[in-house]
Structure 1
């Protein structure tokens, strides 16, 4: 049995046209009569010819690659998004190239510059510390989809995620359970997601006439180990609190370990809530109350939006919902 791939020359011979005519029809640059076009399409179907996507892209002046700037490719949060990006590109002929910025603006700019010089046909930027005006400069050269940045250009689109309101809702959940002294583990201070979540926490306290206590806010870096360290800092400060809101699930899971090592029970002694709803959140002991982000959908929608931009279609900002998911790590305050 012959399993060799069908060639363009074989399609041309079956259709009774030249190979260059087949190539131009596939690339959309040929002006031929309907009979020839039909003959080529029939030959492609009968022979099950699979065009070389890369070759077609190069013929159109494209590399068929998409640059994706993440913060940490090993992070479970970004890992889920990147899976969505890959699935969103299935069947398009485009392949992603991933790069990590490690929450450092200078490193992110270096990675974006590297991707743009390859060059890639489009960029997806997932949060990060790069100023919006710098990203706008990149968007002037290449189509771009951003998360956590508001880049307004004809060839750019951004995903709208209301982190401030979601953090407000998370804090209100704890307040509704009777908690007044609520600690917060914040994310990196130079990132918009972190500052928005801190602002939502502060707004919820202010609306209930609870004075904001800066000593109950500890700095983290979105990694698990910073949650462990933050809990140690809070306990050593001897500040009283009955609930803790961590700015992401990884820090919440780290905090859970920190409490366990001190003999503090969740939720009997301290109620705990995170942000993201990573797969691991459902399997914590106890399962973690958190804010659900449509993490996979973020990646899938980013890839789909970029494909629309590359087709020259107008693409409006994409709003994605964030909701509180209540599990067993929070309970009513014991008086």
Structure 2
């Protein structure tokens, strides 16, 4: 977490640009809420109605934005928000594994899981496989970030891609503009849903 008062003091002394910190005036960020809405809409389009979300498990702006997208996606599809389907992870594979234990203990388990990030999603898939469940035949899983491993994991991971190179380019340009004395405003970039083999129709 970044202290806003510190940022304000620092910005008066030196040009600065933050990445994925949308509240800051000089910032470039991904629309993380939109990304999670895209993930939910994809699952709804495949016939899923009982969709779980594995969170970061701690306070962070990115987790807040992604969970907001999950909840908005459900609402736009006319699906209820079920508190039991929102379970904490920790951003790592072990957090995904722990979340699966909690989800499978429910009287009615989900047919799909969206995860805070790709590492969590891979942990979810591993835990499901260990319990004899197949992805996506039994449960669909979606990550967020599109790490390199996402394309090569088995099954390859459906995920939300963040345009990191473009983020870097925009941030560098914004920093240069500040150095030149030009005014800058925050920019938000759209993510992209990358559909691979970890999602399928609700059986």
Does 2:14 match 1:145? no
> Residue 240 and residue 188 in structure 1: after superposition, are their counterparts in 2 closer, same or farther (change >3 A)?
closer
Per-residue deviation at 1:232?
1.9
Runs of 4+ in 1 over 4 A off after TM superposition: none
Counterpart in 1 of 2:133? 264
Does 2:194 match 1:311? no
Work out which of the residue numbers 289, 295, 298 in structure 1 matches 2:167.
298
Per-residue deviation at 1:238?
4.3
**2: distance between equivalents of 1:296 and 1:238?**
44
Map 1:1-335 onto structure 2 (within 5 A): 129-149=1-21, 150-152=23-25, 157-334=26-203
In structure 2, runs of 5+ residues without a counterpart are none
**1: distance between equivalents of 2:188 and 2:12?**
23
> Residue 213 and residue 145 in structure 1: after superposition, are their counterparts in 2 closer, same or farther (change >3 A)?
same
**2: distance between equivalents of 1:295 and 1:255?**
25
Deviations 1:81-119 (A, max 9, x none): xxxxxxxxxxxxxxxxxxxxxxxxxxxxxxxxxxxxxxx
* TM-score, normalised with respect to structure 2: 0.91
Aligned residue pairs total 202
| Higher normalized contact order (CA 8 Å, seq sep 6+, divided by chain length) | 2
* TM-score, normalised with respect to structure 1: 0.57
- 1:274–1:289 Cα contact (<8 Å) kept: yes
In structure 1, runs of 5+ residues without a counterpart are 1-128
Query: Which entry has the higher C-alpha Rg, 1 or 2?
Result: 1
- 1:187–1:220 Cα contact (<8 Å) kept: yes
